[in-house]
Amino acid sequence: MPIITYREALRSAMDGEMARDENVILLGEEVGQYDGAYKVSQGLLDKYGPKRVIDTPITEEGFTGVGIGAAMAGLRPIVEWMTFNFSIMALDQVINNAAKMRYMSGGQFKVPIVFRGPNGPAEYLAAQHSQALQTLFVHIPGLKVVAPATPYDAKGLLKSAIRDDNPVVFLEGELMYAWQGEVPEEEYLIPIGKADIKREGSDVTIITYSKPLRVVEQAAQELEKQGIQAEIVDLRSLRPLDEETIYNSVKKTNRCVIVDESWPMVSVASHVGWMVSRYCFDYLDAPVELVTSEDVPMPYNHKLELAAQPSVEKVINGVKKVLYI
């Protein structure tokens, strides 16, 4: 299979869906003439024109609302937020309109819209522009939330998100856009709500998603040198969660570490930890361990910035804790 970058996989998904369905449009800041802030939409304006690739003003609440209205009227908008840090400006539209309209209308309105862009810590962006905000969206009924960690998963999940009749929040990562991986040229879909076993193991289950997957894979390689076989569960979909895959893995290994780059309180990690502790209680040989970012705003200093996030060392220490080593 061809090896392409994460950004190229996203572009391929959008290009394919725009060619397949003329109702698919893209709007956001600099998505057109500038080819996207991270060059994800490069070439799409030339191919599909300004009526389908729409540059917007710096007004997140405004163009998010326009996208929701367009979805209710029959289009399938992709709304690109230049960063999820700016999505905070549009939360009223997302929470009170996109997420609730189908429910409040008794199914008369569908809202087939995708909100996508980079989420999570990057580099040298400090406290206001380097945040993992997935918990805000996962908390809301009516939204689907996905966070693919590989180019293969990104393409398959974005195509599924665009075709979904419900609002989907699609979390990428600024530092992931240059990541490379094998991606088929032919069409394929990955269903929303299905996790993936990225590595088979027998001693401990490590659950993660999005950018921390690379840290977890590096930690698993180091653990293998010490005779510890870690199974890696990549959630991919945060709402809905693939509970079956999670539980089956923990029942096999009897130990669980959850790695999440968001803050620990009321996080995806804390919720999954509660689920595992409750529904796999009789199978656990140790309490569930969480490895998250520190419960502080992101520092600007690079050494402190790295120290605040999950690392290979922190993951290894978490694994050894549940193994009582």
Task: Indicate if 186 belongs to the active site.
Answer: no
Burial classification of residue 321, based on how many CB atoms lie within 10 Å of its CB (0-12 exposed, 13-18 middle, 19 or more buried):
middle
Determine how β-strand 144-146 pairs with β-strand 168-172: parallel
Per-residue CA distances from 158 to 59, 67, 195, 236, 297 (Å): 24, 17, 15, 11, 30
| Rounded CA separation 61/275 (Å) | 34
Per-residue CA distances from 24 to 47, 71, 75, 159, 240 (Å): 13, 10, 6, 11, 24
Q: Which of 239, 205, 238 is nearest to 220 (CA)?
A: 205
Which residue out of 60, 80, 172, 174 is catalytically annotated?
60
Per-residue CA distances from 209 to 12, 153, 172, 310 (Å): 22, 11, 11, 12
230 contacts: CB under 8 Å, gap ≥ 6: 199, 201, 203, 204, 205, 206, 216, 219, 220, 223, 224, 319
Query: Which residue type, as a one-letter code, is found at position 14?
Result: M
Helical ranges in the chain per DSSP H: 6-20, 44-48, 60-72, 84-87, 91-93, 101-104, 134-138, 151-163, 212-225, 243-253, 268-279, 302-307, 312-322
Task: Indicate if 60 belongs to the active site.
Answer: yes
Which residue out of 30, 61, 129, 243 is catalytically annotated?
129
Catalytic sites, residue numbers = 60, 129
